Each structure stands twice: as structure tokens, then as C-alpha cells.
Homo-oligomer: A and B are copies of this chain.
Amino acid sequence: MALLVQKYGGTSVGSVERIKAVADRVYKHHKQGDKIVVVVSAMSGETNRLIELAKSMQEDPDKREMDVLLSTGEQVTIAVLSMALKSLGIDARSYTGKQVRIVTDSAHGKARIQHIDTESMKADLDSDRVVVVAGFQGVDVQGNITTLGRGGSDTTGVALAAALKADECQIYTDVDGVYTTDPRVVDSARRLDKITFEEMLEMASLGSKVLQIRSVEFAGKYQVPLRVLSSFTDGEGTLITTEKRESGMEQPAVSGIAFSRDEAKLTVKGVPDTPGIASKILVPISDANIEVDMIVQNISADGTTDFTFTVHRNEFDRALAILKDIQLELGAKDVIGDAKIVKVSIVGVGMRSHAGVASTMFKALALESINIQLISTSEIKVSVIIDEKYMELAVRSLHSAFELGDSSTSN
């Protein structure tokens, strides 16, 4: 008998049939004696429909009214899912964010949760009721409806699990868990039974879009065990937790291979190697609201140095133009860029205690004659920038080098 928070996204509640399938799944858990809080998103397509409607009224729709509008999406889902549950003979009760009292700040469209009232939900759970909560929305202290921003339903799920001290927060999605790498790239990619929050954060920020980064951070902070499962198939999914070490089992060095096609590289060549040069280069970039990912500056030769950084590929042209503008001022010899690159990373908490992980990586890439353009490391990750044409080859060779594959599948 566990207390579970189950979150179902827009695709999982995208049609009458799928909402009924969700009701069936909740029914099974409820029958097993679990106490269940369900968090749902708007039916897929609904949010876009509402945004269209708003834009036909006002070019840049008022943020407060946008939240009033968008919050109806989840309100529809909580009502009809509750009806579906009742038709199965389960007592269910819907709650909007305002009805729970998921209290947020007043930053419409990207509000942050400050407090959650749990009394009503607890009373319902104690009376054997299933509680159905609208994700993505809350209310500020003045009573205005707020939304947490897109994907915010995951955050609602985790926040409710934390507030209710749930045994697990289950995120139902269209994939059946977190994989060692993208199965579309590597056939033998294997679903991970467990992964740590830190690893998940690295995987998520590197393009594995299973979960919103914010909800993973939140779950890690409040130590809420998080499980990613498929709402279409049965299975154990992947548990995201603080410690994945099984008793008596050796920790593998690397848990997964992540990659991102969204990178572009910029290099300012031959700038004087003087204090403050990095900020002279990067301040104009950040002033233009361009986010910088990797930053590499090598040791200087003859008093000048090359300064390289990466940005999102969409921002490449803008960033390049800014650098060209300040080239003279910087005293740089040249400004060059390359948008045809990718970032490939190995991720694993195990590398903390394993020497030689990076060298295994570099050796595997060298064996395939893949040139490494940039390297960046963190405690649980090594990332390299390579030519985009080698991406699949690099991912496959690393997946194999770290023995991540499902042994039953040929790689």
C-alpha cells in the first residue's frame, strides 16, 4: 500500500480512449490498495488551440489573461478523467490548482510554487478517494490564476509528491523509461532500471527530453523518488533516485551516452591574453540574451590566445554578427564559426571513482578516426564537440566501448 502521485502528459490524455486507458490504469493501482493522486495535462492540441485563439485577440496576449485561458485546458481533463473513474466505480474528485491551493508567485506564464495545501487531498485519500489535480497551474496570494510554464505538469507532480511525502512520483509518458542512449541511433540501447538525479539532469540537459529539467531538480532537492513509465505499455520504467547502487553490485562507470544536435561553435582567434578578455567577449553575447554552453580557452602562445564557446544553433548567426562587430575592439585576428557540429557526452556518477573513463572515451573515438574539436568535463560527465557527420558513429562506438548495450541484441 503506497501513496503514489501519477502524472499523465498531454499525449497520454489526448483522446477519449486514452483518458479511459488512464482511468483503467489508475483503477488497477487503486484496487491494489494504493492511495493515488493523479496529475494531468491538457489534452494534446488543446493548449495550441487556446494560444491561437489568444493571438487572434491580441498580438502579444496579456500574461494574466493567458493564464486564465490556458488553465482551462487541464480543468477539462481533470473533470472528464474524474468522470471516467467514477464510471469504473471509483470515487474521484477533481481539483484545479486554485482549489488545491498550489500557491505560486505572480510570475504569470512561469510561476514558481511556494506552498501547497495538502489537508483536503489527505482527507480525500483517507476516504479512499482518488484525487485528480490539474497540472501546470496554481494561484497567487491575490487569487490570480498562474501557470508554471510549458511542461509544468511534471513540476506539479513532483511538488505534490514532495508535499504529500508520497512514496513515488510516477511520470507517465510516451517512452517506457530512460535509455543508455537514443534507441533510434543505437539498436542495442538498453532501458536503465535506475539512474541518479544528477545523471538524469545531465542526460536531460543534453537532449534526452524525457523529463523537464526543472522537475528533476525539484525531485532531487526534495528527495522524491521519480519514475518514468510508458502510459501505453506495462513495465517498470526507470526509477530516478538519490542512490542507484545496488547492494553488492559494482557501480558501472558510465550510465549513458547523450548527444545534442543543437550546438554551434564560435572562435575568436588571436586575442591578447590579458585579464578581462573573456568577459569582453561574453558580455555582449549575454546582453543579447544568448545562452552560452561550453567555454574553452587554451594556454596562450606569443601573448595571444584563441577563445572558443558554443551556443544554441538557432543563435549562431546572431552570435557571429555580434563578434564580428566587436572584433576590432577586441584586437582579435579573426572570428570564425561552425554550425555543423554536435556534442556527444558520456554521463555517469560512477566516473567519480573510476580512473581512465575519459581516456577510454578518447581512445574509442580515435579508433574511428573522429577528431575531437573541444572537450569539457564535469564531475559526472565528459563532453566532446565533433563534426556532425560522425555523430551516430561516435554514439555507437561509445555505447559499445562502455558496454552499455543489451547483450541480447547485436550492436
Contact of A54 among B54, B57, B83, B144 (CB under 8 A): B83
Task: Known A56-B16, A76-B50, A78-B68; judge A83-B96 contact (CB<8 A).
Answer: no
- In the bound complex, how far is the Cα of B145 from the Cα of A59, in angstroms? 32
Q: Which residue of chain B is the closest to A93 with respect to CB atoms? A: B64
Task: Known A53-B16, A75-B75, A99-B143; judge A86-B58 contact (CB<8 A).
Answer: yes
Answer whether residue A382 sits at the interface, using C-beta atoms and an 8 A cutoff.
Answer: no
Q: Are B94 and A80 in contact (CB under 8 A)?
A: no
Answer whether residue A240 sits at the interface, using C-beta atoms and an 8 A cutoff.
Answer: no
Query: Contact flags (1/0) for A96-123 with B, using CB distance below 8 Å?
Result: 1011000000000000000000000000
Contact of A72 among B54, B66, B76, B98 (CB under 8 A): B76
Query: Contact flags (1/0) for A328-363 with B, using CB distance below 8 Å?
Result: 000000000000000000000000000000000000
Q: Are B57 and A83 in contact (CB under 8 A)?
A: yes
In the complex, which residues of chain B have a beta carbon less than 8 angstroms from the beta carbon of A75?
68-69, 71-72, 75
Q: Are B94 and A20 in contact (CB under 8 A)?
A: no
In the complex, which residues of chain B have a beta carbon less than 8 angstroms from the beta carbon of A99?
143-145
- In the bound complex, how far is the Cα of B144 from the Cα of A99, in angstroms? 8
Q: How many chain A residues touch B (Cβ–Cβ < 8 Å)? A: 38
Q: Are A65 and B82 in contact (CB under 8 A)?
A: yes
Q: Are B57 and A80 in contact (CB under 8 A)?
A: yes
- In the bound complex, how far is the Cα of B87 from the Cα of A64, in angstroms? 14
In the complex, which residues of chain B have a beta carbon less than 8 angstroms from the beta carbon of A83?
54, 57-58, 61-62, 65-66, 69
Q: Which residue of chain B is the closest to A61 with respect to CB atoms? A: B83
Chain B nearest CB, measured from A126 CB (Å): 17
Query: Contact flags (1/0) for A175-194 with B, using CB distance below 8 Å?
Result: 00000000000000000000
Q: Which residue of chain B is the closest to A43 with respect to CB atoms? A: B53
Answer whether residue A19 sits at the interface, using C-beta atoms and an 8 A cutoff.
Answer: yes
- In the bound complex, how far is the Cα of B53 from the Cα of A64, in angstroms? 28
- In the bound complex, how far is the Cα of B19 from the Cα of A71, in angstroms? 20
Query: Contact flags (1/0) for A131-160 with B, using CB distance below 8 Å?
Result: 000000000000111000000000000000
Answer whether residue A84 sits at the interface, using C-beta atoms and an 8 A cutoff.
Answer: yes
- In the bound complex, how far is the Cα of B65 from the Cα of A87, in angstroms? 12
Answer whether residue A374 sits at the interface, using C-beta atoms and an 8 A cutoff.
Answer: no
Q: Which residue of chain B is the closest to A52 with respect to CB atoms? A: B16
Q: Are A69 and B65 in contact (CB under 8 A)?
A: no
- In the bound complex, how far is the Cα of B59 from the Cα of A16, in angstroms? 14
Query: Contact flags (1/0) for A30-66 with B, using CB distance below 8 Å?
Result: 0000000000000000000010011011110110111
Q: Are B87 and A79 in contact (CB under 8 A)?
A: no
Q: Which residue of chain B is the closest to A23 with respect to CB atoms? A: B57
Chain B nearest CB, measured from A186 CB (Å): 41
In the complex, which residues of chain B have a beta carbon less than 8 angstroms from the beta carbon of A50?
76
Q: Which residue of chain B is the closest to A100 with respect to CB atoms? A: B143
- In the bound complex, how far is the Cα of B87 from the Cα of A54, in angstroms? 11
Please list 27 pairs of residues, one from A and one from B, whose beta carbons are closer than 8 Å in the complex, sorted by A's number.
Answer: A16-B56, A19-B57, A20-B57, A53-B76, A53-B80, A54-B79, A54-B80, A54-B83, A57-B80, A57-B83, A57-B87, A58-B87, A62-B82, A64-B93, A65-B79, A65-B80, A65-B83, A66-B83, A68-B75, A68-B78, A68-B79, A68-B94, A72-B75, A72-B79, A96-B145, A98-B98, A99-B143
